[in-house]
Chains A and B, each alone.
Chain A
Amino acid sequence: MNGEAILPYLIIIPLFGAFSMPMVNLLGRKSREAWAVIISGATLAVGSAMFYSVWENRGIIVYTLGAKSPLGQANFPIRIVWEVDLFGALMVFMVTLVSFLAVLYSLGYMKHDTGLDKYYTLIIILELGMLGIAITGDLFNFYVFLEIMSIASYALVAFRNDTWEGIEAGIKYMFVGSIASAFILLGIALLYGQYGTLTMSYLALKLAESPSVTAKVALALFIAGLLFKSGASPVHMWLADAHPAAPSSISAMLSGLVIKIGGIYALARILFSIYGASISVKTVGWVIIIFACITLVIGNAMAVIQNDMKRLLAYSSVGQIGYILLGLGIGLAAYGSQTGEIAMAGAIYHTFNHALMKALLFLVAGAVIHQLGTRNLNELSGIAKTMPKTTFAFLIGAAAIIGMPPLNGFASKWLIYESSAIFNPILGAIAIIGTAFCTAAYVRVLYTFFGRPSESVMKAKDPEGTMLWPIILLVVAIIVMGLFPWQISEKIMIPAVKALENQLAYVSTVLGGA
């Protein structure tokens, strides 16, 4: 299949869906829900076709908006380009998959809420923003889509405006997020002032030709802003408020996708594809590693002491972001070696796996809250009796996130452990400590779930079909991916790392071998 021909539909379909939602809404509730499912389903179809096409051809898709070539009559890019390598395509697939499941889940979960036309509009725009980030090859365009994603997520976090925590978390998230976005915009402005181009690949060339202090300051601003967006410690506090306060379908998207696309993916893209040749990757790698270690320990340790189920999951997300950052940091610090490649493969693999696992766990938490109306773990004892399917799904998700061998989390965490132990045994030890905390947190939840049923739990039952099916699909995906861990790593993740590390190919595809 021709990836270049279908690439625009990745933006056109959700854009059309979001802008037509207010009109479709006039036809009534059923058509609005059907429209949201159709749009996100069609996006999933395009996204998976695109992923398959990029994976099959092992190339980089470049698409110029408005012309055949990005260059015009000059020897530098003058138009906006999309540039999708295997890493970007993998992120596209991840976003479309989890978004589709979240929309499907919302049909049942959001039934009792008002303002649902706005809700479906915003959830499709959230997906659109993430897709735009994943496919773009232009720095300012990246910022625009980062803002689309961020603004949609601020509104969705505070969507339940009759709860005090929704509004509080929304305000906190908005203030912190706006400052982080401002950092990134300032970085882009500095780079444009110094180098006069906004295309990522041409900027990489310019940076390598004439490194400057301005570029280093801009890099510092990018790293600061993107660490905010990914919820790394010590700037993770917004995440621990925003993820529990949002509706669960949104938490699944925020935790599974937003922090990775807006944080990890963008960080990897900027560090590898733009700055790869012009900075000391070792220094930057160690900066990332230090933040990763703090994040790893704090996130997982804070998860152990939570009494609120969704807050526990949110802190666990912080902890898992720590693993991904550790892989990314080692991938940079050991750039070009076998160890670095394995670490980066582990990071990308864990990004994908964590999106599935954390989406599953948040959807399960949503189902529990929907049935019982409480998130307090102490009141949830014994739901294994009355909600067996939900509890089983949680068991699978928890086992996967800890990294039990038959499930998908094992392979990705193993790659990170292995490479960190080879790179520096202390980092390996820190990673193991993080997992110990993570195990404690999840075992504690499972212990509660399998305890003696309490009074309020007795009348609970498994959720309805639209809420159960996304959960089942995610469980199946986690188990199936767990059966072929090394094949997936060999066939998808390692080539994705190779594509990311091959900066020359990234640059020369746009400039036409120049």
Chain B
Amino acid sequence: MKRTIAYLSLLFILGALLYIANPNYGLKFGPGGSEWLALRYTDNYYITHGLKEVGGMNIVTDIVFDYRGYDTIGEATVLFTAIAGAIALLRPWRRDEA
């Protein structure tokens, strides 16, 4: 019973996602021309001003380390946390040490 409901709701979510994947009323794929400026204006800004404002030839690293560097600090913290957590959980058991 539970499992049936779960599969049905998964199907529903998939249907909703497929519905909005239609470019006529949902997400546009590969926007070009005027759509590019309407939908990807932030990317356009990075591409036009990135070199002058940041100074790197690589737009991706310009964004990742300058415009959105704070997110990168966050990602580094996620990795640090994951390592700290994994080491913490894989340490020997208390009773083994005694």
- Judged by a CB distance under 8 angstroms, whether A395 is at the interface is no
A399, B41: Cα distance in complex, Å: 55
A113 engages B94 (CB within 8 Å): yes
Task: Please give, as numbers and ranges, the residues of chain B lying within 8 Å of A155 by CB-CB distance.
Answer: 81, 84-86, 88-89
Residue B8 CB within 8 A of the other chain: no
Map CB proximity to A onto B11-45 as digits: 1 under 8 Å, 0 otherwise.
00000110110000111100000000011111101
Contacts of A7 in B (CB 8 A): none
In B58-98, the 8 Å CB interface with A consists of 66-71, 73-75, 77-78, 80-82, 84-95, 97
Residues A19 and B42 in contact, CB atoms below 8 Å apart? no
Number of interface residues of A (CB under 8 A): 53
| Residues B42 and A196 in contact, CB atoms below 8 Å apart | yes
Residues of A within 8 A of B16 (CB): 217, 220
**Which residues does chain B contribute within 8 Å of A214, judged by CB atoms?**
20, 26-27
Complex CA gap A439/B23 in Å reads 54
Q: Does A72 contact B (CB under 8 A)?
A: yes
Evaluate contact between B71 and A80: CB separation under 8 angstroms: yes
Q: Is the pair B78, A148 in contact by a Cβ cutoff of 8 Å?
A: yes
Q: Pick from B39, B70, B91 the residue with the most CB of A within 10 Å.
A: B70
Q: Tell me which of B67, B73, B77, B94 contacts A79 (CB under 8 A).
A: B67
Choose the segment among A120-128, A483-491, A498-506 that binds chain B (4+ C-beta atoms closer than 8 Å): A120-128
- In the complex, the chain A residue whose C-beta lies closest to that of B39 is A196
Asked if B82 and A151 sit within 8 Å, CB to CB, the answer is: yes
Q: Are A151 and B25 in contact (CB under 8 A)?
A: no
User: A78 touching B46 by the CB < 8 A rule?
Assistant: yes
- A18 CB-CB contact with B under 8 Å: yes
Contact pattern, A 41-66, Cβ under 8 Å of B = 1, otherwise 0: 00000000000000000000000011
Contact partner of A140 (CB less than 8 A), chosen from B39, B71, B92, is B71
- Tell me which residues across on chain B come within 8 A of A73, comparing CB atoms: 45, 49
B-chain residues with CB within 8 Å of residue A212 when the two chains form the complex:
25-26
Judge whether B74 and A152 touch: CB under 8 Å.
no
Q: How far is the CA of A501 from the CA of B71 in the complex (A)?
A: 28
* A72 neighbours in B (Cβ, 8 Å): 45, 49, 53
**Complex interface: chain B residues within 8 A of A18 (CB):** 77, 80
Please measure, in the bound complex, the distance between the C-alpha atom of A212 and the C-alpha atom of B21, giving whole angstroms.
Answer: 12
CB neighbours (8 Å) of B80 from chain A are 18-19, 125
Residues from chain B with a CB closer than 8 A to the CB of A433 are none
Check if B89 sits within 8 Å of A159, measured CB to CB: yes
Could you say which residues of chain B place their CB within 8 Å of the CB of A213?
19-20, 25-26
Q: Residues of B contacting A76 with CB < 8 Å?
A: 41-42, 45
Given A79-B67, A162-B94: A196 touches B40 (CB 8 Å cut-off): yes
Q: Given A113-B94, A114-B94 in contact, is the A78-B81 Cβ separation under 8 Å?
A: no
Q: Contact check: which of A119, A147, A162 meets B78 at CB < 8 Å?
A: A147
Q: Is A158 an interface residue (CB 8 A)?
A: yes
Q: Are A141 and B74 in contact (CB under 8 A)?
A: yes
Give chain B residues whose Cβ lies under 8 Å from the Cβ of A167: 89
CA distance A19 to B80 in the complex (A): 8
Contact: B20 with A154, CB < 8 Å? Answer: no
A501 to B38, CA, bound (A): 29
> What residue in chain A is nearest B66 (Cβ atoms)?
A66
> Is B70's CB under 8 angstroms from A161's CB?
no
The answer to the question of A132 belonging to the interface, with a C-beta cut-off of 8 Å to chain B, is yes
Q: How far is the CB of B8 from chain A (nearest CB, A)?
A: 15
Tell me how far the C-beta of A139 lies from the nearest C-beta in chain B, rounded to whole angstroms: 11
A115 interface residue (CB < 8 Å to B):
yes
Residues of A within 8 A of B73 (CB): 15
Residue of A nearest to B89 (CB): A161
| A74 contacts B by Cβ under 8 Å | yes
7 A–B contacts, CB within 8 A, in A order:
A72-B45, A80-B71, A113-B94, A122-B85, A147-B74, A152-B81, A212-B25
> Nearest 5 pairs between A and B by C-beta?
A155-B85, A118-B88, A144-B74, A162-B93, A115-B91
